[in-house]
Amino acid sequence: MLTEPDLDLIAALQVAPRASVATLAEALDVSASTVGRRLTRLEEQRILRVIGQVEWRARARGNPRHVWVTTEPGASGSAAKALARFPEVQLAAETAGRSDVYLAVHVPDRAQARELLAERIPGVAGVAGTHSELVLRALTRADSWRLHRLSEEQQEILAREQVVPGTPDGFDADEVGPDERRLIGLLAGNGRITAAEAGRILDLSQSTAYRLIQSTLRRGIVRPRVEVEPAQLGYELEAVIALTITPGAIQAVAAELARHPSARYVSIVAGTASVIHQGVFRNEDEMADFLTRDLAPLPGITALQVSVVLRMLRRYWLYREDGRFAPDSD
């Protein structure tokens, strides 16, 4: 069970994932040694990691896809485990409701999507059927989700070391050099890596590594983010909600959902649905309030389908086990 100080530290890291221990300590009004010990403990217990969320175009040509998988009776667990091992699978979960397994996948090239969706996923033992939606645009992603625990003063302290990412509109993956590509890989695995550490690994000077890191972060190619399973933070219920919306209302509804405190990932999609809302809730009552009080008044919604997560196996390419990172998650 996480303590209140643990939650405060996680909230601070959500605001400034690369903040120094000294800055975190100042914001939380504790000693730097206390922050250091707490951070180390959470990492050693496989509860917390700071990773780098990589811009889609730096990973692949084309956008991710949502995939819902129906399995034969009794096969959801084994099928989910097999699917989670696919290198293209960013997220894999056993679910109830719309499907038995939910996946988020990102293939290196659009041409490979057909093979993955039409052959490899359906070919897994126990899979009875699949349905996919292409992500057209993401309105919010997990790096923006917050625990609202910090005062304005605390957030101002943390903002001193917060690199505000731009929008990588002009980013061209073909123009990324070998050193920058290797750095992207390092930041993806450790969002708090220092210039000194990166320089040693890449055989670059510390100043060169620092400039590369700052450029990569400012351009929004990598966005550091805290990874903790929502259940560890008190959000026991997670759901993927597919909404069908009249065309004229899609953008407005998606934008409104992206502002909702439950939203971890909201995307406009192409398929039978219009918008996918991946949200977390403290309990069933909170989710009921979302559906009946917050969602119901929004214009243009004609239908929705809900998949409730039963077990998370992989999230952002890291394997999960009982609400923690699996020992082999690297």
pLDDT for 211-243, tens place per residue? 999 999 998 899 999 999 999 999 999 999 999
> SS3 of 314, please?
strand
Query: 176 falls in which pLDDT band (50, 70, 90)?
Result: confident
| pLDDT value of residue 105 | 97
Measured distance between the N- and C-terminal CA atoms of the chain, rounded to whole angstroms:
24
The residue length of the chain stands at 330
Distance (Å, whole) CA 188 – CA 204:
18
**Residue 126 CB partners (closer than 8 Å, separation 6+):** 71, 72, 75, 76, 78, 79, 82
| pLDDT value of residue 174 | 63
| pLDDT value of residue 168 | 60
Per mean pLDDT, which range of 35-39, 61-65, 190-194, 206-210 is the poorest? 61-65
Per mean pLDDT, which range of 10-24, 98-112, 169-183, 219-233 is the poorest? 169-183
Distance (Å, whole) CA 221 – CA 99:
33
Q: Tell me the Cα Rg of the chain.
A: 20
Helices (H) and strands (E) in the chain, counts: 12, 12
**Residue 74 CB partners (closer than 8 Å, separation 6+):** none
User: Contacts from 178-185 at CB under 8 Å and sequence distance 24+?
Assistant: 179/204, 179/212, 180/212, 180/215, 180/216, 183/209, 183/212, 183/213, 183/216, 184/52, 184/54, 184/58, 184/216, 184/221, 184/222
3-state helix/strand/coil string of 174-202: HHCCHHHHHHHHHHHHCCCCCHHHHHHHH
User: pLDDT for 101-137, tens place per residue?
Assistant: 999 999 988 889 999 999 999 999 999 999 999 999 9
* Position 326 pLDDT exceeds 80: yes
**Residue 26 CB partners (closer than 8 Å, separation 6+):** 157
* 0.75 surpassed by pTM: yes
Mean per-residue pLDDT, 193-206: 96
**What's the mean per-residue pLDDT of the chain?**
94
Reported as half-sphere exposure (CB side, CA atoms, 13 A), residue 213 has a value of: 25
| pLDDT value of residue 102 | 98
Reported as half-sphere exposure (CB side, CA atoms, 13 A), residue 157 has a value of: 16
Mean per-residue pLDDT, 284-292: 98
Structure tokens at 208: 């060169």
Structure tokens at 71: 């399995």
